[in-house]
Amino acid sequence: MNSNEKLIVSPAPHVHDRSTVKNVMWNVVLALIPALIFATYYWGFRALLLSLTGAVTAVVCEAIIQKLRKIPVTVHDGSAFLTGLLLAFNIHAGAPIWLPIIGATFAIAIGKQVFGGLGNNPVNPALLGRAFLLASWPTQMTAGWVAVKNSAISGLNDLSRIANNLSELSPKAYELVTSATPLNVAKTLRDTTFVSEINAQAGGIDLGGRIFGSLTEMETLKSLFWGNIGGCIGEVSAFALLLGAVYLLYKNIIEWRIPLFYIGTVFVLSFIFGGIPGSGTSVMLPFFHIFSGGLMLGAFFMATDYTTTPLTKKGRIIFGIGCGLLTIVIRLVGGYPEGVSYSILFMNVLTPLIDRLTLPKAFGKVKK
């Protein structure tokens, strides 16, 4: 052999599993494709258009900022695309097209690049973008939900299950179940004044209890599971999101602790505290709560964001429980019907503290 050959000298280890940042990010995007397909199926081409607008805006925005910062443009790594897509997933299909454009720009510029880019942002950029939009354009963010297949947004397709001629019986109750998302219905029914009002309108029957009961009926849960309800683009179908989640768990891209403890906490707390006065709780209520709103999207795709969640195993459990607790508090007694995004943002901020308080004991270290 030729002894003058140049050999590569580098520190051990000399083998690698060949995983890359790019691979991780694009795999997460891939895992969101089922949800995107379901959303397009239920809400039409507009859902796809808004999603891609968000993703492309994020990519363009990141490239421009990196050019301005005179650092290498790294948009091929997929992280900006993912942020933009997740941002758009937090907008409903009836929203104006400029909403995801502004949201994605804010998410990338203020949520990510200001802090130095990938790996340095303190909170989830997509959720920060969503919070910004909700604070700035609350009407556009919450009004004009698109109903699916001409049925009620709440997923209570067959209204006769609640009462024949609900529209005549109680116009107020009718408006609620046809124009609000399921979580909104659940929340409104916790208002005893509202319930007694519609009960009075209906001539004294327990209409509130009936509507609440219908939320946990198999029909409704099925709608929630398959996505036949109103909501944000990415909140579409628990099934589609779970499909992606299973893929990410299998590929070892996300870890089980945060989603399990997040969803588990919501499950348990919604059973204990989720009932309404007069009707109490139901064994099916936890299923209503875990399949509703943005929980599946949040637990598997947002609360598992690497940069903004704890490094330690114990910390991830605390993070998951904290998210679940806050989500339930917001859903049941807070000012919004849904609490997934704010609870994750709040826990993101606590992450450095959680890490410091949960440093693991080395193998063989004696517990003090």
Partner 1 sequence: MRLKTFPGGIHPHDQKHYSKSATIRKYPTPNRVIIHLSQHIGAPSSPIVEVGESVLKGQVIAEPSGFVSLMQHASISGKVSKIGKFMHPTGAMSTAIEITSDGLDQMVALDDNENFMELPVESMKERIANAGICGMGGAGFPSHVKLSPPADKPIDVVVLNGVECEPYLTSDYRLMLERAEDILHGLRVIMKVTGAKKGMIGIEANKPDAIALMENLCAGRKDLEVVALKLQYPQGAEKQLIFAATGRKVPAGGLPMAVGVVVQNVGTAVAIYEAIRYQKPLIERVISVTGSVVRKPQNFLAPIGTLYSELVEACDGTSAPIGKAISGGPMMGFALPSLDAAMTKGSSGLVLMNKHEARSMEEHTCLRCARCVDICPMNLMPSMIANAVKYNDLDMAVKAGLNDCIKCGSCAYVCPAHIRLVQWIDTGKIRFAEAQRKK
- Residue numbers of the site for partner 1 (CB under 8 A)? 1, 3, 5, 7-21, 23-24, 116-120, 252, 255, 306-313, 316, 355, 359-366
Q: Shortest distance, CB of residue 1 to partner 1, whole angstroms?
A: 5
Q: Residue 10 or residue 164: which is nearer to partner 1 going by CB? A: 10
Q: Residue 73 or residue 146: which is nearer to partner 1 going by CB? A: 73
Q: Shortest distance, CB of residue 22 to partner 1, whole angstroms?
A: 9
Q: Is 306 exposed, middle or buried (0-12, 13-18, 19+ CB in 10 A)?
A: middle
Q: Shortest distance, CB of residue 357 to partner 1, whole angstroms?
A: 11
User: 195 with 208: CB under 8 angstroms?
Assistant: yes
| Prior bond of 11 cis (ω within 30°) | no
Residues constituting the chain = 368
Q: Residue 14 or residue 149: which is nearer to partner 1 going by CB? A: 14
Q: Residue 148 or residue 345: which is nearer to partner 1 going by CB? A: 345
- SS3 state of residue 92: strand
Q: Where are the alpha helices (DSSP H) in the chain?
A: 21-43, 45-68, 79-89, 98-109, 125-136, 138-142, 166-169, 171-179, 182-188, 192-201, 207-215, 218-226, 238-250, 257-273, 285-291, 295-297, 313-333, 340-357
- Least Cα distance to 262 among 349, 216, 328 occurs for 328
Q: Residue 25 or residue 173: which is nearer to partner 1 going by CB? A: 25
Q: Shortest distance, CB of residue 74 to partner 1, whole angstroms?
A: 9
Q: Residue 18 or residue 149: which is nearer to partner 1 going by CB? A: 18
Q: Residue 149 or residue 365: which is nearer to partner 1 going by CB? A: 365
Q: Shortest distance, CB of residue 14 to partner 1, whole angstroms?
A: 4
293 φ/ψ sector (left φ>0, alpha ψ -120 to 50, else beta) = left
Q: Is 103 exposed, middle or buried (0-12, 13-18, 19+ CB in 10 A)?
A: buried
In order of 64, 250, 319, the CA distances from 314 in angstroms are 39, 21, 9
Q: Shortest distance, CB of residue 161 to partner 1, whole angstroms?
A: 46
- SS3 state of residue 232: strand
Q: Residue 235 or residue 355: which is nearer to partner 1 going by CB? A: 355
- SS3 state of residue 311: coil
Q: Shortest distance, CB of residue 318 to partner 1, whole angstroms?
A: 14
User: 319 with 254: CB under 8 angstroms?
Assistant: no
Q: Shortest distance, CB of residue 348 to partner 1, whole angstroms?
A: 12
